[in-house]
């Protein structure tokens, strides 16, 4: 079975731009979660989608949004990028909540 | 507030020595706890979960509700155990999201 696939692996953007990250879950998994990983804050929950509906949301500003498609693939969007948004963004999928299977992440650098 | 604390950022041991990675939590209710591991250049992956009560790669973890701890132990560390270890709690009070500790880097020296 193929694992969770995240694209692209690396992104460099400038402040004020927006970015879209993509995640393809493991086949059959309907839940997709997103996490932000930084050296200072560690792993922080962004949001979870299940069957195209946002089921849970973390404490991030509205600039962070996501969606899930009917094939369970998910995208995460960050608008008006700030320097502090530089991080590794991890996507994880599961059958219905746990355990989570993580992708390799997308490394976003904002300059 | 729900929280997971891993007090050690770095733990360095010699091969063959016992290892214990500490994890403490605060949670209202019955917690579901996990250990995830990230080897160099690999993705974060599940190591074990407390409800399974299993041993993976020689590691075990026991949930101690009285001490609110879920320490990860291995009697004889191997060099290939060197990795980042994250303790995580599933917060059913907030929709089931995972709350992670800050992680402990385990370094096993030859």
Residue B42 pLDDT = 92
Contacting A with CB below 8 Å, chain B residues are 32, 34, 36, 43-46, 49, 86, 90, 94-103
Contact B55, B47 (CB under 8 A): no
Q: Which residues contact B53 (CB under 8 A, 6 or more apart)?
A: none
pLDDT 10s digits, A28-71: 999 999 999 998 889 999 999 999 999 999 999 999 999 999 99
Find how far residue A106's CA is from the centre of its chain.
Answer: 8
- CB within 8 Å: B94 and A56: yes
Residue B106 pLDDT = 98
Query: How far apart (Å, rounded) are the C-alpha atoms in residues A64 and A78?
Result: 5
At A2, is the pLDDT very low, low, confident or very high (cuts 50, 70, 90)?
A: confident
- CB within 8 Å: A48 and B97: yes
- Bridge partners of B103, per DSSP, are none
- CB within 8 Å: B97 and A45: yes
> Which of B15, B13, B31, B20 shows the shortest CA–CA distance to B85?
B20
- Bridge partners of A34, per DSSP, are A47, A91
Task: For residues B89-101, give the mean pLDDT.
Answer: 87
Residue A53 pLDDT = 94
Quote the mean pLDDT of chain B: 93
- CB within 8 Å: A43 and B86: yes
At B97, is the pLDDT very low, low, confident or very high (cuts 50, 70, 90)?
A: confident
pLDDT 10s digits, B12-54: 999 999 999 999 999 988 889 999 999 998 999 999 998 887 8
Query: How far apart (Å, rounded) are the C-alpha atoms in residues A30 and B29?
Result: 27
Residue A63: phi and psi, rounded to 5, are -65, -20
Closest partner residue to A99 among B46, B86, B94, by Cβ?
A: B46
User: Measured at the alpha carbon of residue A25, what is the angle toward residues B58 and A42, in degrees to the nearest 5?
Assistant: 60
Select from B43, B45, B51, B99 the residue whose CB has the most chain A CBs within 10 Å, as the one to mutate to test that interface.
Answer: B43
Contact list in A for residue B97 (CB cut-off 8 A) is 33, 45, 48, 56, 58
Contact A60, A78 (CB under 8 A): no
Quote the mean pLDDT of chain A: 94
Contact list in B for residue A56 (CB cut-off 8 A) is 94-97
Residue B91 pLDDT = 87
Longest dimension (CA), chain A: 38
Residue A97 pLDDT = 65
Find how far residue A87's CA is from the centre of its chain.
Answer: 11
- CB within 8 Å: A98 and B95: no
SS3 A28: coil
């Amino acid at each position: 079975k193929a694992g969770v696939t995240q694209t692209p692996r690396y992104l460099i953007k400038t402040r004020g731009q927006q970015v879209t990250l993509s995640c393809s879950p493991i086949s059959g998994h309907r839940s997709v979660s997103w996490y932000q990983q930084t050296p200072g804050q560690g792993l922080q929950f962004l949001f979870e989608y299940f069957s195209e509906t946002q089921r849970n949301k973390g404490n991030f500003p509205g600039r962070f949004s996501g969606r899930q498609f009917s094939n369970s693939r998910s995208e995460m969007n960050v608008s008006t990028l700030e320097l502090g948004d530089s991080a590794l963004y991890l996507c994880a999928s599961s059958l219905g909540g746990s355990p989570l299977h993580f992708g390799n992440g997308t490394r976003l650098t904002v300059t | 507030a729900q929280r997971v604390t891993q007090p050690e950022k770095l733990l360095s041991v010699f091969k063959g020595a016992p290892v214990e990675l500490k994890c403490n939590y605060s949670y209202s209710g019955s917690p579901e706890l996990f250990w995830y591991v990230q080897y160099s250049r690999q993705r974060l992956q599940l190591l074990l979960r407390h409800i399974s009560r299993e041993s993976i790669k020689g590691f075990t973890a026991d949930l101690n509700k009285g001490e609110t701890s879920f320490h990860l132990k291995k009697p004889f560390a191997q060099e290939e155990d060197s990795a980042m270890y994250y303790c995580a709690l599933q917060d059913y009070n907030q929709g089931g999201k995972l709350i992670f500790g800050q992680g402990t880097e385990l370094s096993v020296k030859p």
